Every structure is written in C-alpha cells, then in structure tokens.
Amino acid sequence: MGNKNIVFDVVGTLVGYEKLYEVIEARLGPKMRAQGIEPTSMFGYMWIEVAEREYTYLSMSGAYVPYAQVFESIFWHMLWKAGIQEPRKFATSEDLAVIMEDGYKKMEMRSGAKECVQKLRGAGFTVWAFTMGDLSRVGGYFKQAGIDMPAEHLKSCDSSKIGKPDPEAYRPLLKQLSSDGSLPWFAAAHMWDVSAARRTGRIISPKVDGPFINNSYILRFNDYEYDYLIPRHDGSIVVGGARRDYYNDLGEWFGNSDDSKLMENAKGYFDGYMQRHFQGWEDSEAFTDSVWTGIMGYSSDGFPHVGAIPDKPGQFICAGFSGHGMPQVFLSAKAIATMIAKGKDVEEVDLPRLYRVSKERVNSQQEHATLSAWKRVFEQPMPKL
C-alpha cells in the first residue's frame, strides 16, 4: 500500500495568477502598453518570478522575509527594470495597495482544482498544502473556492522561517508523512519544488538546528564489516554498508545481479544509526528516508578486466572494479578508448598489467576471491576457549 498523503504547493499550482494580472491590467494596463510594456504575463510574471528569487535568496542568507512582503516591496524596482524612468510618478501607492488587496490577495483556484482535491480525497488521499505564502491569505484561497482545508493540513514556510526549495523547509512535513517508511506525494507546478521535495536525504535529521557532520566517515567494526557515511550540503547523509545484517546469508547477495529488489535482511539496518553511533545525535530524531540495494560487480580475482575480449573480435570490456571503481574507471576508460581509437594493443597503453583481460583470467577455475573471503569469516573453526 503506497503513501496516501499528497502535499500541494498552492500559489502557481492550485491557484492561478489571473486575478492579479486582471487588476494590474485595470489599474495600469493602458499606461504600461503606451510604454511598450506588456502588463500581465510579462510584467506580472516577471514580478512574481523576481520576488521568488529574492525571497529564496533572503532565506538562504538567513534573513527570512515573508513572501508577500518581498513581493510588495519590489514593485517600484520592477517598474524601473521594465523601463519606467520614474516609477513613483508612473504609479501611485494607491495603485499598489489595490493590486495587493484586490489582485494578489484575491487570486483564485484554477479551474478543476476543487474537483482534483475532491477526487483525491475520494480515493483515500489526505490532501496537504505547503506554501511559501502566509497561512491567512493562502487559507483564504481555499475558503473562497469552497474547499475545506483543515488548519492542521495547511503548512507555511513562515513557521520555520526557511523558504522553499531549501530541503530543510520540507523536512518536518516529510518526516511526519513518511513515518511508515514510504514517501508522500508532492505536487507542484515548479520543477524545483517537486525535486527539492523528493530528494531530501538518505538519513535525515528533521530538526532545523539539529546536529550536522562535516566529514565523511567509515565506521569499521571488524575485518569484514564496515559502513560509510557521506554528508551532503542539505544536511542529509548518504550511507552504505549494512553487512552485519546480510553478509552471513550468502544466497541473499552472492551471484545476485538483480538490484531491482531490496535485500530484506538489511532494510532496517540504518534506522537509528546516527543515534547509536554519534554523540549529540541522541535526540536528533534522524531517520532513514530511503533505502536501496546496489549491485557491485566483483571479478573472481579481485582485479578489473580491461581490454579486448578474447575470441570476440571488435568487443571490449572495462568492468569488474570490485566495488572500487571510482578511482580506477577514468584511466581504465582512457586506456580502452586509446586501444579502440588508435588500434593499440593492451601492452601499448597505460594500464596496470593485472587489469589486462586474458583467456586465462576469463576461464580461470579458481574460486571466486569474494567467496573465499566469505568462507574465511564464516567457515573458519571457532577459537577454543
């Protein structure tokens, strides 16, 4: 059963800008046109877009200002940018007040928005709204359209004073709605809104002032068991490892080339991980928001195969990096590209000897190095007490 929560962005997604454009047109339309300015979809839209950027940058710099305030305050600047030499003579404070009151605050739900919400609710979804706008104005848009939006389902960035699309802004809601391990749906007209909403973290700490790690870490527990942590700028941490929970079950992972299926044994391994291992994270409420399985291609002798495939003219291979491809693939790829483009033999390119493909290596009957390593761990006699 998927997550039955859907979070809508409001202005620009459910609510359209037409009413705002209408009032700009009524107050200033002819005057603007006389100056060669298209008042609605050009001036109006530019005003909205610039306000969004200012709002976001102010939030990023730690100086959060509610969106409506930003929007109103840049009006004169926008006129000037549109080519009006003396904005305050061109428009009056009353013009601005009317545009804000009758246009901006009275924007309307797009046609079909109400039915959309009703259909989703009918299908068992709980509908949420998460806005950069203030609660009273945005709540008013729903009321005006006759859509019941309970106060507890309507959230604003004003509460945390962190603007979209900062992933921090989505965290509290994302955490609240993904407690069963599945992710809620985000619906937004802006690409950045949805992408920031969905991308938040692997392990994430929901508290705005929660702990943060600056460095990457490897936590090694014994010869064969270790995890690694890579912090990201949004405060989330990409983690890997989890051998404790799957390594002993050879059939679960060895020879498995299907990474479309999650390894069930390891699914819960990273739950509570930061709380267990890092001081200062005990009350962080950090949780795992995504888990996936990745297949690593290990060669039987532990070295990659790079070069022309024996007995298959015209076919080359560059694979088997055995979980350590990052520092090796670039120069290996350069070597193979030189072989193909310049017709060089493997001996003539810059490539470690042990990486060269050969019939002996391909046909080797030697036990797979990964299997031997596993046997050393699980099949060695227990030490006597």
Closest residue to bound ligand FAD by CB: 325
Cα–Cα distance measured from residue 244 to residue 377, given in angstroms and rounded to the nearest whole number: 12
In whole angstroms, how close is the CB of 230 to ligand FAD at the nearest point?
9
Site string for ligand FAD, 309-328 (x = CB under 6 A): ---------xx-x-xxxxx-
Q: How far is the CB of 201 from ligand FAD (least distance, A)?
A: 16
Nearer to ligand FAD, 208 or 295 (CB): 295
Contact (CB, 8 A) for 333 and 317? no
> Binding string to ligand FAD for residues 243 to 282, with x set by CB under 6 A, is what?
----------------------------------------
d(CA 245, CA 266): 5
Part of the chain binding ligand FAD (CB under 6 A), chosen from 2-10, 123-131, 288-296, 340-348: 288-296
Positions in 292-311 near ligand FAD (CB under 6 A)? 294-296
Smallest distance from ligand FAD to CB 302, Å: 13
What three-state secondary structure class fits 189? coil
Q: Should residue 329 be labelled a site residue for ligand FAD when binding is judged by CB under 6 A?
A: yes
Name which position in 240, 272, 302, 310 contacts ligand FAD (CB under 6 A).
Answer: 240
H or E element at residue 26: helix 18-34
Could you say which DSSP state residue 107 is in? Answer: -
Tokens of 126: 């709980």
CA distance 225 to 242: 8
Between 52 and 227, CB nearer to ligand FAD: 227
- Name the amino acid, one letter, at 305: H
**37 CB-near residues (< 8 Å, 6+ apart):** 43, 82, 83, 84
67, 31 Cβ separation under 8 angstroms: no
User: Does residue 215 belong to the site contacting ligand FAD (CB under 6 A)?
Assistant: no
Using an 8 Å Cβ cutoff, are 362 and 303 in contact? no
**Would you tell me which residues interact with ligand FAD (CB under 6 A)?**
240, 294-296, 318-319, 321, 323-327, 329
